Amino acid sequence: MRYDLADVFTDAPLTGGNQLAVFADTPSARDGRLMQAIALEMNLSETVFLQPPEAGGDARVRLFSTVTEVDFAGHPLLGTAAVLAQHHDDDALTVRLETNVGPVPVTTQRLSEDRFTAWMDQPLPTISPIPDSQAEDLVDVLGLKRSVLPITLYNAGIPHLYVMAESPDDVRAIEPDFPALGRAAGPGRARINVFALTGATTAVTRMFSPYDRVPEDPACGSAAGPLAAHLVRHQLLTSGTEIVLSQGEAVNRPSTLRAVAQADQDEIGSIRVGGGVCLIGSGRLRLATTDRPYPNSPATHLADE
């Protein structure tokens, strides 16, 4: 089974960005347990399995973290588009990747043989308030005095909660208690994003995924778009203005994410997220046939330990 490795949301391979494996020779679409076992073996934030398109797109993708299949993700789609683009002569290429939440167009621009920039049009999220008691628990567990903006849940295939700290130093100082964060996130197992503005169009952010074996994400593309929309909705960012997000320093994977949201207080019109992609290698996974069943998705999560 052939695969490519990429670092996404960085222009510096090996030292930054979010890591990704993209498998081109993939198992049957029905063999999710094998895909999950491979994703756990790769031990990266996400692993992508390419499959033939089913709804008029260029490829169908199945996305797996180390513990579960996810309906949508950010850096895997940007990285997958760059993997596909390396086999085309055109410097600019747009592909439609079919996900569990529908087709997602991704446009890549080749910078060199193994360097790209990539931008995606993200699915629009649903927006939900959370109970005051849950908001208070989150602020307390994070060690913050308050959230500057109302803590809000956005969901475009992966649920994300957004907590705005008073300063960038408050974001950087957080020492996450993952079991407590998992309980505060609630039964929907939402990811928790804590951010603060560092300028008019820049911010620092951290994303905690307490139920995953990668409990702090180096660069979360699925969270970047709704964060831009959240700021626009609360008039801290002008609609259509690009915001540059810094993430990953706490886990020694500094990353740069860019997001643009067209929105107003009541409605989100569009969301785009982009960044650099470095293709860093490729290889083959060798699997002998066996009668032993592959295990179910890992049942032990950090938040439950």
pLDDT digits (tens, 9 = 90+) for 81-132: 999 999 898 999 999 999 999 999 999 999 999 999 999 999 999 999 999 9
List b or e across 255-267, with b for residues whose CB sees 16 or more CB atoms inside 10 angstroms: bbbbbbbbbeeee
What is the value of pTM for the model shown? Answer: 0.93
Mean pLDDT, residues 8-30 taken together = 89
Instruction: For residue 164, name the pLDDT band (cuts at 50, 70, 90).
Output: very high
- Bin 159: left if φ > 0, else alpha if -120 < ψ < 50, else beta: beta
pLDDT at residue 230, rounded to an integer: 98
Mean pLDDT, residues 250-270 taken together = 96
Mean pLDDT, residues 167-177 taken together = 98
Q: Record the tokens describing residue 44, joined without a space.
A: 């990266």
Instruction: Choose among 75, 36, 54: nearest CA to 276.
Output: 75
- Domains along the chain? 2-120+278-288 (3.10.310.10), 126-275 (3.10.310.10)
Instruction: For residue 227, name the pLDDT band (cuts at 50, 70, 90).
Output: very high
Instruction: For residue 300, name the pLDDT band (cuts at 50, 70, 90).
Output: very low
Which residues are identified as catalytic?
46
Mean pLDDT, residues 40-45 taken together = 93
Instruction: For residue 25, name the pLDDT band (cuts at 50, 70, 90).
Output: confident
Instruction: For residue 291, name the pLDDT band (cuts at 50, 70, 90).
Output: low
Kindly provide the residue ranges of all beta strands, DSSP E only, lying in the chain, ordered along the sequence: 2-8, 18-23, 46-51, 59-64, 69-70, 92-99, 102-112, 115-121, 126-129, 152-155, 159-164, 191-199, 202-208, 216-217, 243-247, 255-263, 268-284
Checking if the pLDDT of 265 tops 50, the result is: yes
Amino acid at residue number 295:
P
pLDDT at residue 248, rounded to an integer: 97
pLDDT at residue 29, rounded to an integer: 61
pLDDT at residue 301, rounded to an integer: 40
Checking if the pLDDT of 193 tops 60, the result is: yes
pLDDT at residue 42, rounded to an integer: 95
pLDDT at residue 209, rounded to an integer: 93
Mean pLDDT, residues 10-24 taken together = 95
Checking if the pLDDT of 299 tops 70, the result is: no
Checking if the pLDDT of 150 tops 50, the result is: yes
pLDDT at residue 296, rounded to an integer: 60
Quote the mean pLDDT of the chain.
93
pLDDT at residue 304, rounded to an integer: 42
C-alpha 126/C-alpha 153 separation (Å) is 8
